[in-house]
Amino acid sequence: MDNPEIASVLRRMGLLLQIQGANPFRVRAYENAAHTVDAATEPMAKLVERGADLTVLDGIGKEMAASIAELVTSGSLAKLEELGNEIPVSLVDVVALPGVGPKKARRLWEELGIRDVTALAEAALAGEISRLRGFGARSEQQILAAIERRRKFASRLPLAEVDRLAEPLLAYLRKVPGVRRVEAAGSYRRRRETVGDLDVLAVASKPERLIRAFGEYSRVESLEKAGNTRATVILQSGFQVDLRVVPAKSWGAALVYFTGSKAHNIKLRQRALEHGMRLSEYGVFDESALEEGAGDGDRWSGDYVAGKTEKAVYAALELPWITPELREDRGEIDAAQAKKLPRLVAEKDLRGDLHSHSTWSDGKSSIEEMARAARAKGYEYLAVTDHSPLLAVANGLDRHRLVRQWAEIDAVQARQPEIRILKGLEVDILEDGSLDMDDETLAELDIVLVSIHSHFDLPASAQTERVIKALSHPATRIWAHPLARRFGKRDEIRLDLDAVLHCALEKGVAIEHNALPQRLDLKEVHLLKARELGLMVSIGTDAHAVDQLDLVPYGVEQARRAWLTRKNVLNAMPLARLSRWLEGTRLGP
């Protein structure tokens, strides 16, 4: 059982306990443990196998350690099954609906025998929900609407799609008279690879006017709620956007609060308490002068210390400002306190792109155009890495065409001496792990990427062997889009990534983070692992046309979320250093 599965079981356990009405702190212990497992770069299975002490991990005590070990060894959790005999596990899906929490789910089950979402929809249509005490006609309609929306739309959208929705909306809101600031917060601002809904924050002299304008935005499908300081709309795409208008003196505190993550906020608040202060979305307040409990319930109680800017809020907690990409409670607060926050890689650090295609295979731009565009971005080098012959649908190159392509590269190189064009190839990894090109040709290339475009569903052990064999080929320099996933289309391949990453380290092979928004592959948790191991990461766009070279920020953002610095990134190397690396000189961070 892998880490995401273990985390999901622990979360399910927490939810069922909540429905059962267990001690809320016990419930939270399960949520915390799930968070830790999710953030762990080492597979729990390996730790358990090795007999490592899991209780050194945050939020994992004796009990959790035993549960995790049980999940790893048996694939199930006796406690969860017992609980499942008492409470239907499918109620977890009912609780996932907005507006339905554990208490309501329990009553729906106990009083109407509702065990899952299907039964809930039937009961709502029959008007049974509104007859329940504590529920009304309105709740019934909201439940039906929530079920309908979940049926029609994916729960989270890829980041790039949300960019397309958010950018015009933010521009529109910024033009409303009286508006002083507008910023999107939430997981969108943290640049998570998928986003569930958009939280927009604003400062405005006339909040009512802004809220009205928000509801009148052309792409709004329905205005769900509208109050004096906040409103919720559903866009035509089914995507939910929340707007909150905050006082200017609370802007920074509100931005921290709504940017999250929730776990990061909780840590910040604990820290505030340790310093005799209280942190809320309104600001940081010094409560040391207050009598015990004197200001309870008053959001402005205590002395206002900070809140206008994020920097001031963090400073009040004796911390440097922490960039949103790191706010996931993965040790960033401790690192900030110790003044050990990394200087994360930025787009300007990149000196070139090591994964691109041309019209020679399935690209839309010529080598000449790609080189010119790369140079215009300020790059020192561009690797042209068209497909190998197996990918016939992509017009993959055999040796004969490849040699002709080299002649063209030489000609373009002569015309554009200011950018180095590397002769590369994205070679298919065949089913048995051998490469789709002869060794002599591979040896002549400047750079060889290997990747999987077929046999995605081999058993994990076979897949692991296959990739290890490919990475062990002496010509291999980069493992491109490692897990071969595509959002909404294809799940990641299954293999023992831990073993493969260790192999890459041993062989001096770099790992790609593919910046195509529908790929974003390797995922951040694995990038964290790559960083720990000291692997080099290549942020490649896989551009199939000149404009796709501009997708590189999506890759940089995920790299930043994984704490990568310039030193971890292969294509942040200047050309001379990269050339030595390609020659086989192992230069790590």
Least distance to DNA, CB of residue 292, Å: 11
Among 42, 281, 286, 368, binds DNA (CB under 7 A): 281
Residue 280 or 565: the one with the smaller Cβ distance to DNA is: 280
Q: Which of 403, 484, 413, 402 is nearest to 450 (CA)?
A: 484
199 binds DNA (CB under 7 A): yes
Among 137, 294, 393, 411, binds DNA (CB under 7 A): 137
Among 65, 233, 394, 442, binds DNA (CB under 7 A): 65
Residue 140 or 161: the one with the smaller Cβ distance to DNA is: 140
> Which residues are 225's β-sheet partners?
232
Among 214, 251, 258, 563, binds DNA (CB under 7 A): 258
79 binds DNA (CB under 7 A): yes
78 binds DNA (CB under 7 A): no
Stretch that binds DNA, among 210-218, 279-287, 326-334, 410-418 (CB under 7 A): 279-287
Among 125, 273, 289, 460, binds DNA (CB under 7 A): 273
CA dihedral 474, 478, 483, 487 (to 10 degrees): -150
Residue 289 or 403: the one with the smaller Cβ distance to DNA is: 289
227 binds DNA (CB under 7 A): yes
Q: Which of 229, 151, 163 is nearest to 195 (CA)?
A: 163
Residue 39 sits at φ, ψ, to 5 deg, of: -85, -10
Residue 39 or 409: the one with the smaller Cβ distance to DNA is: 39
Q: Which of 177, 351, 188, 156 is nearest to 259 (CA)?
A: 188
Among 214, 239, 251, 282, binds DNA (CB under 7 A): 282
474 binds DNA (CB under 7 A): no
139 binds DNA (CB under 7 A): yes
Measured from the Cβ of residue 575, the count of other Cβ atoms closer than 10 Å reads 15
Q: What are the C-alpha distances in Å from 198 to residues 190, 410, 472? A: 12, 48, 44
- Alpha-carbon distance 13 to 31, whole Å? 9
Q: Which of 531, 533, 541 is nearest to 561 (CA)?
A: 531
**Alpha-carbon Rg of the chain, whole angstroms?**
27
What residues numbered 3-62 form the site for DNA, per CB under 7 A? 23, 25-26, 28-30, 32-33, 55, 57-62
Residue 220 or 462: the one with the smaller Cβ distance to DNA is: 220
Coil, strand, or helix at residue 308?
coil
Q: Residue 412's Cα: distance from chain center in Å?
A: 38
Least distance to DNA, CB of residue 97, Å: 6
Total residues at the site for DNA (CB under 7 A)?
A: 62
Query: Contact 487/155 with Cβ under 8 angstroms?
Result: no
208 binds DNA (CB under 7 A): no
Least distance to DNA, CB of residue 102, Å: 5
- Alpha-carbon distance 250 to 194, whole Å? 28
Among 75, 99, 113, 320, binds DNA (CB under 7 A): 99
Query: Contact 248/240 with Cβ under 8 angstroms?
Result: no
Stretch that binds DNA, among 131-139, 469-477, 539-547, 559-567 (CB under 7 A): 131-139
Look at the block and give the residue holding tokens 């001096």: 508
Can you say whether the dihedral through the CA atoms of 55, 59, 60, 63 is positive or negative?
positive
194 binds DNA (CB under 7 A): no
Query: Contact 198/240 with Cβ under 8 angstroms?
Result: yes
Least distance to DNA, CB of residue 374, Å: 40
DSSP 238-281: S-EEEEEE--GGGHHHHHHHHH--HHHHHHHHHHHHHTTEEEET
Stretch that binds DNA, among 261-269, 360-368, 374-382, 561-569 (CB under 7 A): 261-269
Residue 79 or 401: the one with the smaller Cβ distance to DNA is: 79
Q: Which residues bind DNA (CB under 7 A)?
A: 23, 25-26, 28-30, 32-33, 55, 57-65, 79, 95, 97-105, 130, 133-140, 142, 186, 197, 199, 225, 227-230, 242, 258, 262, 265-266, 269-270, 272-273, 278-282, 299
